[in-house]
Amino acid sequence: MARIRYAARTEAEIAAARTASGQLPDIWSTGVVAVWETDPDAVAAVLPPPLEPTARPLVRANISKVDLPGYPLGAGSVAVAAEHGGVEGWYPLVMPMTHERALIGGREVFGEPKKLGEVEVERDGLAVRAALARHGIAFVEVRGAVSGPLPLPEPAQKTDFYFKFLPAVDGSGFDADPVLVHCVRNEKVRKLEQITGDVVLRESMYDPIADLPVRTVVGITIGEKTTDQKGRVVERVSAQALMPYIHQRYDDPQQILDGPPEGSA
C-alpha cells in the first residue's frame, strides 16, 4: 500500500527533523531599521499588563529581505519599547510575513503577532526605500539615502515580548490562561550603514501604526545581519487583563468571539 502521508510519522523521522532544524547555517538578511520617538501615552496605551513603558517612548520598524535558497522571504515588524521584570525589550504590534511557513511557526510556537503581508526593501545606489503593506496600504514606509558606513556592533542579545494564547472554543475568552514569552535573539551584524531620511505612516484600519506618530527620528540604518532565537515562558498572565488587547492581532476582532452557532454539533 502506498504511504498515507497524513499518517503518524515514525520516531526516526521526528528525530531527523529535529536534528535538521538544529543544524541550519547562518541565514543573513538585508534590512532597514527605523527607530522614532512617539507620544508616551500612545506607547502606554498599547502595552498589555504586565508589560510597562520604558523611560523613552520608542517605536521600531524592522523591514527585511531574506534570500533563502528558492524561498525568498520578506519579514517585518513594528514594535514599541517595553519592560518586564527588569528586562528591557520590544513588544511587536504587527509582524508582516510574505510566506505562510514563516507566519505559522512564529504564531503557534512563540505567540508572535504575524500576519501575511507585503514587504519591500529596495536600494538603487545610495537611495533606499522600504515598506510594510497589507490590504494594499503601505502603512509604514521608510525613505532616504545612505550617508555613510557605521561601526559594526558586537554580537548582542535582544528580547521581544509575546503573549501566547488560544481563543476559547465557545467564544467566551481563552481555553487557558495566556502566557508571557520572552524571546531572546542572538544577533550578529556584518554590514551597517546610516540612512538620512524619514518615516511615513499611512492610515490603515487593519494596521493602525499611524496612532504612534513620528515625533523625532532617532535613527535609520540598513544592514546585513543574522539571528537565532529561543523563547521561554516567564509567567501566566490574567486572561481578563489581556482580553481587551487581543484585537491587535486580528483584522476582524469579532473573529475571536465567534462561538459555535446554537444547536450546532
Segment 181-192, tens digit of pLDDT: 999 999 999 999
**Model confidence at 246, in pLDDT bands (50, 70, 90)?**
very high
Q: To which H or E segment does residue 201 belong?
A: strand 179-201
Structural domains of the chain ordered from first start: 25-247 (2.40.400.10)
pLDDT tens-digit series, residues 118-136: 999 999 999 999 999 999 9
Using the predicted structure, report yes or no on whether residue 179 has a pLDDT greater than 80.
yes
Contact residues for 28 (Cβ-Cβ < 8 A; gap 6+)? 66, 67, 190, 224, 225, 226
Q: How many CB atoms lie within 10 A of CB 239?
A: 16
Spatial CA neighbour of 54 closest among 29, 14, 12, 91: 91
Q: Percent of the chain at pLDDT above 70?
A: 92
Strands 73-84 and 156-164: unpaired
Q: What value does the mean pLDDT of the chain take? A: 92
**Model confidence at 263, in pLDDT bands (50, 70, 90)?**
very low
Cα(50)–Cα(46) distance, integer angstroms = 12
Specify the pTM: 0.90
Using the predicted structure, report yes or no on whether residue 17 has a pLDDT greater than 60.
yes
